[in-house]
Structure 1
Amino acid sequence: MTPTHNSRRRWLLAAAGAAAASALPGVSLGQGPTALRIGYQKSSTLMILLKSRQTLETALAPRGVAVQWYEFTSGLPLLEALNLGNIDLSADVADAVPPFALAAGASLTYCATETPSPQAQAIVVRADSPIREVAQLKGQRVAFAKGAGAHYLVLEALARAGLSIRDIEPAYLSPADARAAFERGSVAAWVIWDPFLAAVQRQSNARVLRDGEGLSSYRRFYLAATPFARTHAEVLEVVFDALRDAGDWVKRNPAEAARWHAPLIGLDAATVEAANARRSYAVRTVDAAALAEQQRIADAFAVQGILPRKVAVSASPVWRKA
């Protein structure tokens, strides 16, 4: 799940005091990788699938690598742990998360991305709302998580409609609080991502006003601690291949995948299947287009004063499959 603004602030503060942080338990890598420590969230579909099947344990055992798993509640604490050397690899995080980590001075390597899923986040209104186009949001109260990918989608959608963030009344709310505000009518619109998007569509009959098509690609990124990526590229290649195969399986078996994942995230299988249908799950190496959009997100947030400083995404290493 995308973290709230408060967790972003905690991440920036924690990164500044990185040396004081305590390490997660784990086996020292020593001269060669004896442990691969992976951080994940409940939304990390592909990594959780690999974990449940022990795919990586089986593939890496002949190399003498043991896999260790650590669950996080949101993306920024996960990347904080990665930067501190407490884990080696991060499961997917949303596209707005890496710029915050980089702005805090994190040394991260882009390992993989899922191809764009622009329909997996959207601006929604209630079914009976008179609002039919983004321009009609002028003067309205709009809910979204500050600094999330939804925030970037708002900026892009407003700009396309000839408006700016100053033309609306932002309500910076967590998904749970935003949904409550949306359903009681105290906000005119809500900008949200899947599976929350699928849930509010199915359960509250929300109507999509504008999704990310042509505005925000909504890529998911997998990152590694740069020292690990430099010295253990062969381990990352095993993980990459396993993730790619897992993504292919989810898309080929949508009903089975949804039934498997639904209990883990507390949603019904039909809602999970609807959300999964909008997400590509196509794992690829990180290309120039993906990095260019990372830079656009970073620049947009820097202009808004959400990032503490400008970020040069091109300065971050990118792992390439051999």
Structure 2
Amino acid sequence: MAYQYSASFLSKCRHALALLLAMLGGALLTGCGGSGGATGGEAVKTLTIASIAYPYQGKQVFNGLNGVVIQQGWLKDQLAKKGVNLVFTPVSTAVGGPLINEGFSGKRIDFASYGDFPAAIAVAGGVPLKIVAPVGQGQDVYIVVRKGLAARSIADLKGKRIALHRGRPWELPFSKLVDSSGLKLSDFKIVNINPSATPAALESGSVDAAVLLSDGLLVEQNGIGRVIWSTRHAPADWKMRAELFGRADFVDAHPDLTQLVVDAFVRAAAWSSDEANKAEVIRNAARGALPERIVAKDYANSGIPWRERFSPVFNPAVRTHYRSVADYALQRGLIRKKVDADALIDERFVDKALKDLKLEQFWTHEARS
């Protein structure tokens, strides 16, 4: 298995990381170090939620349920009644997982909406986390081959150079596809680069294929490559997942504040699940990220009904998925300590939110195949 990094790419990453750390450090400090490490009877002055954000019209914007929670303002108002300030901390996609893990480790953030792999790595490293709410039912992963390559399946890519950002959530579905095809990762030349650098690599022929999220559809639309596979045609637990994670010590010490946070995300999920809000949801999801037509196509390709796409329900596929993540990360040496996936899941807050908001029958509870 080959790991290839260009000097210019690494230089850009180091520069971007330095700038982001400086910017984020100030943002985190503004939140008084998240809850200030408050536990037990200590008063919480600031509650901090970290999530991926995008530059848009001169500012950082939060897409998805985070953006809806901010727009609705309900959580901010409820926390203010308790004398708690709400801070949303923006994190770049380039360094999202590692930076969020560092924030959790240093108790500078209390909650984060981010992906499965980075969270498993944090827990294995001794950072106690809890999944307090799903933030949807998964995102599709795409395999794109460069223009002119005749490959039609993963088997056709044997011996080829594949761009795969290692340790990121989309590595798991790719690995499952490889295993299910009777192949091994060592059958490919894995090129470890950030997705933002992938289109140029495909266009120049530096790589033959790439594993991407919905940006794979943009690559195809721009004529740089062609999608040959997606998790649309795989079991539900193959999709890349992101959840609302809470710092376990904060969750256990402040269940009342945690409940408010989960209530807000369930409210945002219900609003987003309404067909009447579909156009606005797509418009907001595209801000600073991808063209609206690509976001809409990704949603349509998923095969998930609109209402179910934003479901916060812990259906069986969630537990199955995190068991797979834990097993894979350990087997591939990404973590050294086994993560107890079942202990990671904390359903009590979503259950109460669904009951209190009278949404118990709003979403289905079964896993999709």
Q: TM-score range by the shorter chain?
A: 0.7 to 0.9
Quote how far apart the aligned CAs of 1:47 are: 0.8
Any idea what SS the aligned residue of 1:295 has? helix
Could you tell which deviates more after superposition, 288-297 or 182-191?
Answer: 288-297
* Aligned partner letter, 1:183: E
CA RMSD of aligned residues (A): 2.9
Quote how far apart the aligned CAs of 1:142 are: 1.0
Contact persistence 1:121–1:150 (CA under 8 A): yes
> Partners of 1:286 and 1:320 in 2: how far apart?
10
1:274 counterpart (277, 288, 297):
297
CA 1:55 to 1:269, structure 2 compared with 1: closer, same or farther past 3 Å? Answer: farther
1:46 counterpart (27, 41, 65):
65
Consecutive unaligned residues in structure 1, runs of 5 or more: 11-20
> Partners of 2:135 and 2:91 in 1: how far apart?
20
CA 1:178 to 1:309, structure 2 compared with 1: closer, same or farther past 3 Å? Answer: farther
Contact persistence 1:140–1:169 (CA under 8 A): yes
Aligned to 2:198: 178
2:156 counterpart (136, 149, 152):
136
1:156-189: CA deviations, max 9, x gaps? 1111111111111111111022221112223221
1:157-196 equivalence runs, <5 A:
157-194=177-214, 196=215
> Partners of 2:318 and 2:91 in 1: how far apart?
25
Aligned to 2:31: 26
Consecutive unaligned residues in structure 2, runs of 5 or more: 15-24, 54-61, 353-369
How many residue pairs were aligned?
Answer: 301
2:109 counterpart (69, 79, 87):
87
Identity %: 24
> Partners of 1:38 and 1:250 in 2: how far apart?
20
Aligned to 2:90: 71
Quote how far apart the aligned CAs of 1:317 are: 5.8
> Partners of 2:218 and 2:278 in 1: how far apart?
17
Aligned to 2:252: 230
Q: TM-score, normalised by structure 1?
A: 0.82
> Partners of 2:68 and 2:136 in 1: how far apart?
19
> Partners of 2:270 and 2:217 in 1: how far apart?
21
Quote how far apart the aligned CAs of 1:218 are: 1.7
Aligned to 2:168: 148
Contact persistence 1:226–1:317 (CA under 8 A): no
> Partners of 1:284 and 1:267 in 2: how far apart?
24
> Partners of 2:156 and 2:52 in 1: how far apart?
36
Whether 2:131 is the aligned partner of 1:110: answer yes
Contact persistence 1:142–1:188 (CA under 8 A): yes
1:222-259: CA deviations, max 9, x gaps? 11111210122222222223222323333422322233
Quote how far apart the aligned CAs of 1:286 are: 4.0
* Aligned partner letter, 1:240: V
Could you tell which deviates more after superposition, 25-34 or 298-307?
Answer: 25-34
> Partners of 1:123 and 1:275 in 2: how far apart?
14
Aligned to 1:15: none
Quote how far apart the aligned CAs of 1:44 are: 4.7
1:99 counterpart (120, 124, 129):
120
Contact persistence 2:63–2:284 (CA under 8 A): no
> Partners of 2:313 and 2:270 in 1: how far apart?
15
> Partners of 1:37 and 1:267 in 2: how far apart?
27
> Partners of 1:98 and 1:180 in 2: how far apart?
29
Any idea what SS the aligned residue of 2:131 has? strand
2:333 counterpart (294, 299, 305):
305
> Partners of 1:246 and 1:128 in 2: how far apart?
43
* Aligned partner letter, 1:33: V
Contact persistence 1:197–1:275 (CA under 8 A): no
1:103-162: CA deviations, max 9, x gaps? 2111111111134335x2111224643111211111111111011122222211111111
Could you tell which deviates more after superposition, 265-274 or 130-139?
Answer: 265-274
CA 1:201 to 1:235, structure 2 compared with 1: closer, same or farther past 3 Å? Answer: farther
Any idea what SS the aligned residue of 1:149 has? coil
